[in-house]
Amino acid sequence: MLLGMRSRIAAAFAALALVLTAGAAPAAAEVARHAPGAAQPAAHIRKPLAGVSAKRADDPVYHYVEGYRTLPAPGASQYAALVSQHSPYRHTTGAGHTLFEIAVMDSQANRNIVEAGWTKEQAVCGQLVSPCFFVYSWINNVGQGYNANNPGWVDNPTENAVNAGTALASTPLGSAPTNLYQYRIERTPVSQPTWQNQGPGWQIIQKNQGAADRIPGYFPDTHWSTSAFGKFGYAMSFYEVASYDATPCDDMGSGVYASSANPSAAAVHAAMSFGGAPAGTGNTFDGVIVSPAADSPAAYRVYPEPGDPDKFKAGGVGYAGPHGSTSTAAGTLNGC
């Protein structure tokens, strides 16, 4: 199934939108990682905006920077990413979001998905001051909703620090973080906590780097009824801006270009690792992309770490004013 999925993905996405710095040739390691025949990304997950009526005639425009990986059969049972938590600039208070998330999918054919991350979205967080923690899921490619509005989500009543919708500590735009955070999606342990009383499933972890696990909740397998999945065949880490402006000036990540040295863009990196995968599976991305391609280098950028293919940087300050520049400078934060 995964081999078939790989060929379908390759046929659907013949080219990758790769950018390091404007006008610069990609590093040799990056060229090797995106050689002809390399695995291509699955169709991106475009979540409906919370609180927006499905009857709207128009759809938001999605902008994303994504690292992705197709796993060898039979897949993996844990996916983790180490990231910063910034508070990206939102140009308007209306519908839309800017977020970071990790996601795991059973297969491109079924598209049963678990997602977790941080977002700035009024309808999800209830405020636009700080990013908040969120979860989301899909059943056979049908979105099930955010947080408490998702019928499958089970809150952990013993976790008081972080729950779905909790406002998170964040790093100021353009600054390197003093702390990083791990986001993790994994199968429930054999000895389940008593609060996970709906059977095994996918539990979500969000914690300070080096600290004890915080488990905001989980999705039991019964959420997927006849199509439960105990392993995933595809994993993603990505930043996403959704806006009703085709060329938004909402920030992504730390709000500075991934290639920027001053302010530091090192703050917006995602390092991934897998658990429960077949022996010999490496912790590396198949590729890292920007989409739409016109976003790079004009608005948002990606920069894989040289010599470290499990890590990438991403960010940007959108299109308006000084943001619409092809230079590698950071631009003017919150300049819209």
- Whether 13 and 40 have beta carbons less than 8 Å apart is answered as yes
**CA 284 to CA 270: how far, in whole Å?**
11
Q: Is residue 58 predicted with pLDDT exceeding 70?
A: no
Selected residue with higher pLDDT from 101 and 247: 101
Residue 91 binned pLDDT confidence (cut-offs 50, 70, 90): confident
- Nearest one of 5, 69, 45 to 240, comparing CA atoms: 45
DSSP one-letter string for 84-132: --B----S-SSS-EEEEEEEEES-TTT--EEEEEEEE-HHHHS-SSS-E
Distance in angstroms (rounded) separating the CA atoms of residues 275 and 215? 17
Distance, C-alpha 134 to centroid of its chain: 11
Mean pLDDT of the 313-320 span: 81
Please tell me which residue, 270 or 278, carries the higher pLDDT value.
278
Show the tokens assigned to 88.
């990206």
| Dihedral, CA of residue 230, residue 43, residue 323 and residue 256, to nearest 10 | 20
List the one residue out of 192, 221, 193, 218 whose CA is nearest residue 205: 218
Q: Are strands 201-208 and 217-220 parallel, antiparallel or unpaired?
A: antiparallel
**Paired strand residues for 96:** none
Q: How far apart are CA 195 and CA 155, in angstroms?
A: 9
Query: Which among 233, 185, 285 has a CA at the least distance from the CA of 74?
Result: 233
What is the chain's alpha carbon radius of gyration, rounded to the nearest angstrom?
19
d(CA 46, CA 40): 17
**DSSP secondary-structure letter at 191?**
S
Please count the residues of the chain: 336
- The residue to which tokens 């979860």 are assigned: 135
Q: Are 172 and 255 a contacting pair, CB within 8 Å?
A: no
Whether pLDDT at 100 is above 60:
yes
Q: How confident is the model at residue 325 (pLDDT cuts 50, 70, 90)?
A: very low
pLDDT at 56: 57
Render pLDDT for 215-241 as a digit per residue (tens, 0 to 9).
Answer: 999 999 999 986 778 999 999 999 999
Model confidence, pTM: 0.84
> Half-sphere exposure of residue 217, counting CA atoms within 13 Å on the CB side?
27
pLDDT at position 221: 95
Percent of the chain scoring above 90 in pLDDT: 44
Min mean pLDDT across 9-23, 35-49, 198-212 is at 9-23
In the chain, what are the domain boundaries? 2-45+60-323
Q: Which residues, in sequence order, are bridge partners of residue 47?
A: none
User: For the segment 10-20, what is each residue's pLDDT rounded down to a tens digit?
Assistant: 333 222 222 22
Helices vs strands, H then E, count in the chain = 4, 16
Can you tell me the distance from the alpha carbon of 64 to that of 314, in angstroms, rounded to the nearest whole number? 9
Kindly report, residue by residue over 112-122, the tens digit of the pLDDT.
999 999 999 99
Output 42 or 72, whichever has higher pLDDT: 72
